[in-house]
Amino acid sequence: MKKLLPIVLGSDENAYGNCRLLAEFCDAKPLMLYSYRFYATKYSKLMDGIQIDRFDSDDVFPDALYSVLKEKKNEYEKIVVIPCSDRYTQLLSRYYDRFEGMIANRFISTDLLDRLDTKDRFYSLCDEYGLDYPKTVIAPFGKWENAVKDSGFDFPVVLKPENSNGYDYIHCHFEGKKKVFFIYSAEEYADVIGKMTSSTFRGKLIVQEFIPGGDDCMRVMNCYSGNDGKVKFMSLGQPVLEEYSPYTIGNYVSIISRHDMKIYEKVEKFLNDIGYVGFSNFDMKYDRRTGRYLMFEINPRPGRSSYYVRGTGNNMMKILCADILGEDSGEEKYASAGSLWTEAPKYVLTKYVGDKKLKDEIKGYYRAHKVSKTLFNPKDIDLRRELAIRRQYYSFIKSFRLYYFDKDKTKG
């Protein structure tokens, strides 16, 4: 019987990065389950794949995953399952009892997931455990129009649906629709709300004060908490550039790994105290005025850009598997600084990163060959795959030319 089989749920860049990490040390080829195969994993030789129609739906997921687990459990001593999206994490938490004894790694309960996934309940937890977050108003439909007026803070503001990946927002349509809006005046706010009201969307809106600073003030942290509910690994990153196209705005384009024990200790205490298990991914912003890290959200999975961690010398999938097998991974607990991860060409970084010190640091990483890219893998070569990846890679040049704006420039 073989020792361990990793099953990856999803087929996007996150899934590819995790399969790439697993392929470095795991004897078994990762098995990827998905409803649709995206370009990031198409034509890849790193994993075996099974396409399951509507795999991310409640009426398909539990039976389909159970069937795969039942087939594989006689071949492997242990099976770990790695969700690569919020949806798959929700489904695993909801139906975990169905797979009792078949999946070796644990997931947080649906109750804790609801507390973390809903902004008002997450910010209540932040209050309880001493985590800072921006001034925020959560406005239900019918109270969108006066949300800023009633908030106690002024423009500029950040406006976004409570869940921009939720079914109701993804499937609504209105002019100028974006994942996140940066709004600088009352007139601009009224215009966006008017267009949004004309659509089918009726969910909650998040209105937050804009924290001064551009993309380089953002911070991301990826953590792993073991089956015993204790943090085993933490890595801090400083995004230096985000995406700007309407449907992907806010996604990280490039990250430099950092190290800060102050925030490591604060987040570690939070995760340990709430009994968290598995991967967690925090988005936050560093407030230069106060020196505080302000929490935006926690994602209960490896982050989409979490491959940046590999540049620190650590492998998050190895940490997971070692924990499950009762072995020492040999990795750091608190990842160090000193590497660059990017999805876009060097030209985009040096043109659109405004801070001279950061720009020089980026150039230094290129000179030192300390740059990692999730999808460019010399051990996974296929001409069709290479063409698709390069097409996406260089598309950032056009995307930034069309959509880039200075978030930190107050207009009203």
Domain 215-403 has CATH 3.30.470.20: yes
Asked if residue 200 has pLDDT above 70, the reply is: yes
Highest mean pLDDT among 118-122, 209-213, 307-311: 307-311
Identify which has the larger pLDDT, 168 or 164. 168
- 64 three-state secondary structure: helix
- Is the pLDDT at 18 greater than 60, yes or no? yes
Q: For the domain made up of 135-209, give the CATH fold.
A: Dna Ligase; domain 1 (3.30.1490)
Is there a cis peptide before residue 156, judged by omega within 30 degrees of 0? yes
- Residue 411 has a pLDDT of 40
Share the mean pLDDT of the chain.
Answer: 94
**CA 9, CA 12: separation in Å to the nearest integer?**
9
Find all residues with CB under 8 Å of 294, minimum gap 6, and list them.
132, 133, 134, 211, 284, 285, 286, 287
CA distance 309 to 121: 29
Share of the chain above pLDDT 70, in %: 99
Of 317, 228, 281, whose CA–CA distance to 85 is shortest?
281
Average pLDDT of 225-239?
A: 97
Q: Domain extents for the chain?
A: 2-104, 135-209, 215-403
DSSP letter at 20? H
Residue 399 has pLDDT above 50, yes or no: yes
User: What pLDDT score was predicted for residue 162?
Assistant: 85
Give the pLDDT confidence score for residue 166 in this predicted structure.
75
Q: What is the pLDDT of residue 412?
A: 39
* DSSP state for residue 267 in the 8-state scheme: H
**Residue 271: which region, alpha, beta or left (left: phi > 0; alpha: psi -120 to 50)?**
alpha
Please compute the mean of the pLDDT values over residues 135-146 and round it to a whole number.
93
Which residue did the predictor score with more confidence, 150 or 340?
340
Per-residue pLDDT band for 170 (boundaries 50, 70, 90) equals: confident
pLDDT at site 163? 78
The tens digit of pLDDT for each residue in 281-308 reads 999 999 999 999 999 999 999 999 999 9
Q: Give pLDDT, residue 410.
A: 46
Q: How many CB atoms lie within 10 A of CB 383?
A: 8
**Dihedral angle sign, alpha carbons of residues 161, 57, 223, 305:** negative
End-to-end CA distance of the chain: 66
Instruction: Give the global pTM.
Output: 0.93
- Pairing between β-strand 76-83 and β-strand 2-9 as defined by DSSP bridges: parallel
Reduced to 3 states (helix: H, G, I; strand: E, B; else coil), residue 72 is helix
The DSSP code sequence of 334-403 is: B-----EEESS-HHHHHHH---HHHHHHHHHHHHTT-EE-SS--TTS--HHHHHHHHHHHHHHHHHHHHH
Encode 105-146 in three state secondary structure.
Answer: CCCCCHHHHHHHHCHHHHHHHHHHHCCECCCEEEECCCCCCC
| Window from 31-35, 48-52, 141-145, 167-171 with minimum mean pLDDT | 167-171
Q: Percent of the chain at pLDDT above 90?
A: 91
Per-residue CA distances from 365 to 103, 291, 331, 358, 359 (Å): 40, 26, 22, 11, 10
Q: How confident is the model at residue 150 (pLDDT cuts 50, 70, 90)?
A: confident
Instruction: Quote the CA–CA distance of 165 and 99 in Å, as a whole number.
Output: 26
What pLDDT is stored for residue 390 in this prediction?
A: 97
Matching CATH topology for 135-209 and 215-403? no
CATH level 3 topology of 2-104: Rossmann fold (3.40.50)
